[in-house]
Amino acid sequence: MDRRHFLTTGAAALAPAAASYAADKPRRVGLIGTGWYGKCDLFRLIQVAPVEVVSLCDVDKRMLAQAADLVATRQASKKKPRIYSDYREMLRQKDLDIVLIAPPDHWHALPMIEAVKSGADVWVQKPISVDIVEGQAMLAAARKYNRVVQVGTQRRSTPHLMEARDTIIKEGKLGKIGLVEICCYYQMRARANPPDTAPPDYLDYEMWTGPAPMRPYNELVHPRRWRAFMEYGNGIVGDMCIHMLDMVRWMLDLGWPKRVSSEGGILVHKNSKANISDTQLATFDFGDVKVVWQHRTWGHAPDPKYPWAATLYGDKGTLKAGVMGYDFIPVEKGAQPVHKDVTYELEQYPEDKTEEALEKHVAPAIRVHMKNFLAAIDARSKPVADIEQGYISTTSCILANLSMQLGRTLAWDPVQQRIVGDEEAQRRMRRPYRQPWVHPEPDKV
């Protein structure tokens, strides 16, 4: 299966798989990565479908035990799921209909590929991968094993953003769109510089590190703050830009950018142990539409109402769209602007009121995203955030980071699936794996 072939295989590749589930047959679910967003995704799935969570996997014994107790209180059967410290052992049982994958980014590719091999349909968090070849292998595996794979880019399922797409953009109220600005001004980068220590006894740090480079353990790494290090992800571009870029691609039906350029670095907070950029700009060139990203983890947001957002500029109007709402500002004098706030569902789903660390404004979007995933499983069709869309958005963000590292614009060939005319950048499409882990390849999955 060459790269061109796996990218052109469509929904028909999913057709031969299993029939729809009967309403009285709960889908059997497993979760890999029981931290913050793993539980958030899982509990939204429990809210919208008859499922039985039978397996949980994590390398943190304390986090795993806590998750198992919580699941027992949340699912209808009140049963406590089996627990595993190694995803391979969990998947070897081949008894799961759905696998949710939500460990740190450097642990997305290998479990996802093994999950589709085991016969499960998969929900994988964004970004799908930390390098481009990982993403190619994940897409190839999904198609080869006829599995439905939904990526956790739930802006595509956010009710107010779906409304903005359908009633503002699709109805032509923006007119010709030539520029989109996307941004994140959250002060989310770690600023501390704590000493390295021995890992806690409840964490298997060797397995947690997996294929990533082995760093000395630091309290900034676990839990949840691993995003401070490029060894485990792709910085704020990989974490936050991907959401807004993917949203814009979906809203405007954009495919691959032709060229990607980026500049930035650690310009302000130089004393932190974190090695991700605190300032970065990137331009994604889609031909007639330019999408420009900016993040700063310091200073004020230009528009406090939209600190993480997209602004779409058309010759008839402007649309500001973010997780908390949208605003349409028409150019024509006398035309009415439109404002919409985020949808909450706290009365319909009272568990949202008390769930620890839940982003209450995001929960409705995850539920819609889960329903779309389940419908695609039953229809054996592509979900709204199909793995190919996740691969395009993830790769685009990786190209931005590579451009910043190399100091030059990168051109992308969507047919050959490679960077054009830049051997060094081409080599960096694949990051080295730490032994004994073996990097997946699209023609060997």
436 cis-preceded (ω within 30 degrees of 0):
yes
Tokens encoding 380: 């054996």
Q: Are 313 and 177 in contact (CB under 8 A)?
A: yes
| pLDDT > 90: percent of the chain | 94
* Average pLDDT of the segment spanning 174-182: 98
Question: pLDDT digits over 21-37, tens only?
Answer: 445 689 999 999 999 99
* Average pLDDT of the segment spanning 365-372: 98
Q: What is the total count of domains within the chain?
A: 1
115 domain-assigned: yes
Res 248 pLDDT > 60 = yes
Res 19 pLDDT > 50 = no
Transcribe 422-438 into DSSP letters: -HHHHHTTSPPPPTT--
Cα angle at 138 between 385 and 124, to 5 degrees? 45
Matching residue, tokens 């994140």 = 184
CATH code of residue 25? 3.40.50.720
* Average pLDDT of the segment spanning 48-76: 98
444 domain-assigned: no
Give CA–CA dist 243/241, Å, rounded.
5
Give CA–CA dist 221/228, Å, rounded.
8
Question: pLDDT digits over 63-108, tens only?
Answer: 999 999 999 999 999 999 999 999 999 999 999 999 999 999 999 9
Cα angle at 110 between 10 and 131, to 5 degrees? 75
Nearest-CA neighbor of 373 among 148, 42, 93, 60?
A: 148
Paired residues of 418 in beta bridges: 413
Res 10 pLDDT > 60 = no
Tokens encoding 106: 């450097």
Tokens encoding 144: 């080869």
307 domain-assigned: no
Paired residues of 177 in beta bridges: 314
151 domain-assigned: yes
Q: What is the mean pLDDT of the chain?
A: 95
Question: pLDDT digits over 229-244, tens only?
Answer: 999 999 999 999 999 9
138 domain-assigned: yes
Using DSSP bridges, classify how beta strands 279-285 and 259-265 pair: parallel, antiparallel or unpaired: antiparallel
18 domain-assigned: yes
Question: pLDDT digits over 255-277, tens only?
Answer: 999 999 999 999 999 999 999 99
| Half-sphere exposure of residue 385: CA atoms within 13 angstroms, side-chain side | 34
Give CA–CA dist 376/384, Å, rounded.
9
171 domain-assigned: no
**E strand or H helix at 412:** strand 410-413
- Phi and psi torsions of 383, nearest 5°: -75, 175
13 domain-assigned: yes
Higher pLDDT pick, 188 / 1: 188
Matching residue, tokens 């685009």 = 396
pTM: 0.94
Which domain, by its residues, includes 40?
3-155+356-386
